[in-house]
């Protein structure tokens, strides 16, 4: 199961970074607030759906590529891994908001789960239009065990 999670994570990261050539640039001030206005509800949705084991809600803000790679089976594997090692999601804080050229917006969170604090979550969004999620990545010592 760990191998499957790693492969899914690598695939998602490859999709995110496949076309990205620019280095991330911090987004501050009013522009940061604009990003958080759409990213925060989507982050809530992702993490609440993960807690509830709700696949359809989990993928509702995904772009077509993310929907394609996030199958019911891969979601179930991710949900089992997260709930088994970390427990339920409890809270989060925004660590950074950055843009990668005109290709992506990345919001990094430090999150707290029942069994571990400081879990890093990266949500990647399309920079315009509907700001759909194009990538999701979890990282923590317990997930790397």
State the Cα–Cα distance between residues 139 and 122, nearest whole angstrom. 9
CB atoms within 10 A of CB 118: 11
Look at the chain and report how many structural domains it folds into.
Answer: 1
What is the b/e burial string over 35-56, where b = at least 16 CB atoms within 10 angstroms of the residue's CB?
A: beebbeebbebbbebbbeeebe
The tens-digit pLDDT sequence of the chain (145 residues) is: 554 554 455 445 544 445 445 688 999 999 999 999 999 999 999 999 999 999 999 999 999 999 999 999 999 999 999 999 999 999 999 999 999 988 999 999 999 999 999 999 999 999 888 899 999 999 999 999 8
What local confidence, expressed as pLDDT, does residue 3 receive?
47
Domain around 25: 2-144
CATH of the domain at 28: 3.10.450.590
Nearest to 96 by CA among 37, 24, 21, 16: 24
State the Cα–Cα distance between residues 38 and 135, nearest whole angstrom. 15
What local confidence, expressed as pLDDT, does residue 6 receive?
46
């Amino acid at each position: 199961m760990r191998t499957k999670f790693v492969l899914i994570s690598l695939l998602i990261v490859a999709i995110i970074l496949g076309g990205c050539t620019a280095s991330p640039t911090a987004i501050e001030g009013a522009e940061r607030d604009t990003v958080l206005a759409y990213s925060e509800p989507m982050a809530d949705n992702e993490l609440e759906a993960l807690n509830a084991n709700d696949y359809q809600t989990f993928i509702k803000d995904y772009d077509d590529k993310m929907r394609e790679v996030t199958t019911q089976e891969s979601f179930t594997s991710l949900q089992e891994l997260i709930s088994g090692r970390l427990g339920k999601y409890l809270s989060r804080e925004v660590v950074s908001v950055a843009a990668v050229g005109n290709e992506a917006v990345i919001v990094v969170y430090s999150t707290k789960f029942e069994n571990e604090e400081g879990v890093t979550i990266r949500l990647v969004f399309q920079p315009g239009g509907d700001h759909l999620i194009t990538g999701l990545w979890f990282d923590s010592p317990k997930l790397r065990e």
